[in-house]
Structure 1
């Protein structure tokens, strides 16, 4: 069975499923006990492991998978008390040590963008809700316009009917004007007053309807502007999440490179120690009287010193290689530290200063430089980088 089959069939994935399911059931039932921060940390660790299920990586050893499996089983056994997974100690492993192990694993791109997908889905949901609100407003506006037109038509029809009745009455009054002149004049005055009063009420109602319509339109415009502002805030948050994910990913890559350099330095150191040991044993053994029998003194000394020098030369080469790998490890660790601390360090600074600091950091870290001499203080360039970043922070009065 190859490494990929071993990876996919490992017991860690079953343990993660059971632990996540148990944690979700207890959380839905409100039966979890312990610090809520501990619950969030455990959920984050399990989510990280679940995201790596379908993304095998040959650099993740079976030993580290088995070690993390033991801790996941310990978490499952500690529920519903999530704090026990932090205060307890299963086979000598704590949450911090296991989180460091999982954090050192190469994280695949699908798992890296998982949180970004969630943020994008939230923004899209907000946009959909805004579109629905705008459609509802359009329907309300159309309904209101129709109601106003209908009301105006009814009022006009009523006015026309009233005018027609008044005209009929005027005709009847005109026919009897000779006998009822005084009554006709009085009736005419009452009709004029009725028409004037109706016109006054109609005008006042029309003004009130226009004012209400203007207020409603302004209210809907304010609401639309508020939705737009919230969408811009979501966009800004998404950009910050992208920046943080990119910085953390690069820092993780430098951490992986530092670990590789550490292993290479240790290997070369072991080779150098072994070769120097052989040279020492040879030099001591060749000093005994039985060595060099049948040869003159200078011939025996030449053979002893020549072999010792040759073997010691191989050991010196191995020691030099170990020193070079150790120097690369220190450089990578310093870069990892600078990248990890960069975003939290500049989070509360103005945007212009954040851009300047990021540019300075990128120039100091990623611009190619000549080989450093062996006697240089470890991490000198990055110490200067950190000092320069601190100098860019504005002084604030107490």
Structure 2
């Protein structure tokens, strides 16, 4: 509903106040604006339009103003206000053209919101417009004058600095001439000293060369003798190193077989305890069955219960055959690894005192024995003969059926 308060509290009033306050900023009179006709025109158009709208709001009765038109004008002025705010922050006058374009496209088209036409209020807006233009002009003149005074002062400073630099250049030229003469005298004196020193150095060098040649011959003879002794010692060290490497290799191989033997022994012990546990469970079930039915008369029910319990005992003890076989296999692997460890550990001391060719022959024979051997295939055998078990179960079943069958 349109009321007087809607007109008085409309946000267009605040927008106009911000724009009119912004008009007093000296940024709108900088050189980039006043020296460009397009930017100057855009600036004047913006603030002239704002002033006219302010006068129209003030001079038009509230009943003759369209609230919708005011909202349309406020929307356009908000866009222009955003462009001017950006101009004050980055000093890019292109924002003035953008704001003027917004005034043309969005603001002036909403001037129908004021009745009567804007023409009668133009004489009232003219003094304010002229005052704003006068202020812009004065600011521009002031900035030009300030720039002229600054430029004049800068030119005076440059002239004084030029005089100082000219005097320094003259001093540098005089100093350079004097230092050039001094340098020439110093170079001549240096050449004389160098000639004398070079002659003395040449004599000393020739004498040192003669003495050094004699010492080098003595040193070569001494090195030759020391080299022969060193070669003999190196040969001995090489033989010792070969023996050490052989021992180290034997230790590494025997240590590996020892680890294998220990691991296989642990596995054999594990499967042995598993076997004992399973057998113990089956025996316990059989003994419990025997104790439970001891002294009870045999009939169809007791015979069937005894048969089922014994069948459970047989089924439970069946995995014990597999665990027992695995325990035996791991035990055999452990014994084989320990035997290999013992043989490898004793082969070195055994052949140590033999001739070198005999040692090589023995090692070649051991190579074919310990390396390149194929693994024994792992065959899984059924611990229980299925045919025999089926036959036995059939016989027991027939006996049970005969026993429980009424005569």
The TM-score bracket by the shorter chain reads 0.3 to 0.5
Larger fraction in helix: 2
- Larger Rg, first or second structure (1 or 2): 2
